[in-house]
A = this chain, B = another copy of it.
Amino acid sequence: MDTISENRSFGGIQGVYRHHSDSCGCPMTFGLYLPPQAATAPVPMLWYLSGLTCTHENAMVKAAAQQHAARAGIALVFPDTSPRGEDVADDKDYDLGQGAGFYVNATQAPWAPHFRMWDYVAEELPRLLDNAFMIDPDRQAITGHSMGGHGALTLAMNLPGRFASVSAFAPIAHPTQSDWGRKQLGAYLGDDESAWAAHDATLLMRESGFGGPVLVDQGNEDQFLDLLKPEALAEAMAARRQPGQFRMQKGYDHSYFFVSTFMGDHVAFHADALGLA
């Protein structure tokens, strides 16, 4: 594993690292913020999964999360959103291929050889982090934005016991019924829609829900509301009596100005679920 950069931030270290990924069959880059507390003991970890077009870097520089993680004593991991490289398949559209992995294991050509973001985020990267950094693998939580909110919710519900809590900022909430979903799930997983269900937060919420608390924030002036379909997830959460909160935030859009505004609430929510503070 190569160290790309390390910068002091709020008393901790914001690092960027690159390693060969067996899952994705290419080099992968991720950001990791270690709070000051990691200097002396393993710390819990909050995953942040990013949205369409993002790399590991967007949230790392724009979400204003480090200050809250430093206060709570939580590490933050910022994975990339897809495999990348000249020999990795891509598409001319921003919402398919590189930068748009959708946190699934592709089974279809031309995506199957590299697009295994589910395995990467659920299995490979956690092992690597546990081996290389002062992380406590028994205390993890997960969040994400847009496509990454979809990833956070679907990972959390598919891996019971893994995460103490899950939250999302403006998640793609019902991809099997949205143009942000049908196109990508069809391309990556094929036409059999039964394979899609494990990657739809609303369907998973209806089916099983989540064993810990859930927090979802959504701006009511989000320019992508029709694609995100928050009403489907809100309905499913309430119908299941899922412990948690769905918050419709007045005046906010889909940008990182929205994410950063509520990041403090989300980190505090996860810190509480992880037994900190």
Contact = CB atoms under 8 A, between A and B. Distances in A.
Interface stretch (A17-25, A59-67, A94-102, A129-137): A59-67
Interface string A67-88: 1000000000000000000000
A256 interface: yes
Interface of A is mostly: mixed
A13 to B, nearest CB: 9
A158 interface: no
A224 interface: no
A7 B64 contact: no
Given A61-B61, A64-B64, A64-B67, A7 B260 contact: no
A264 B9 CA distance: 13
A186 B117 CA distance: 53
A258 B7 contact: yes
A253 interface: yes
Interface string A237-264: 0000000000000011101111011001
Contact of A261 (B8, B62, B256): B8
Given A61-B61, A61-B62, A252 B8 contact: yes
A269 interface: no
Contact of A10 (B11, B61, B66, B261): B261
Interface residues of A, number: 23
B260 A9 contact: yes
A179 interface: no
A257 B64 contact: no
Contacts of A66: 257, 260-261
A160 to B, nearest CB: 35
Nearest to A11: B261
B8 A253 contact: yes
Contact of A257 (B7, B252, B257, B258): B7
A217 to B, nearest CB: 12
B62 A7 contact: no
A189 to B, nearest CB: 34
Given A8-B258, A10-B260, A10-B261, 13 more contacts: A7-B253, A7-B255, A7-B257, A8-B219, A8-B252, A8-B253, A9-B257, A9-B258, A9-B260, A9-B261, A66-B257, A66-B260, A67-B260
Interface of A: 7-11, 14, 61-62, 64, 66-67, 219, 221, 251-253, 255-258, 260-261, 264
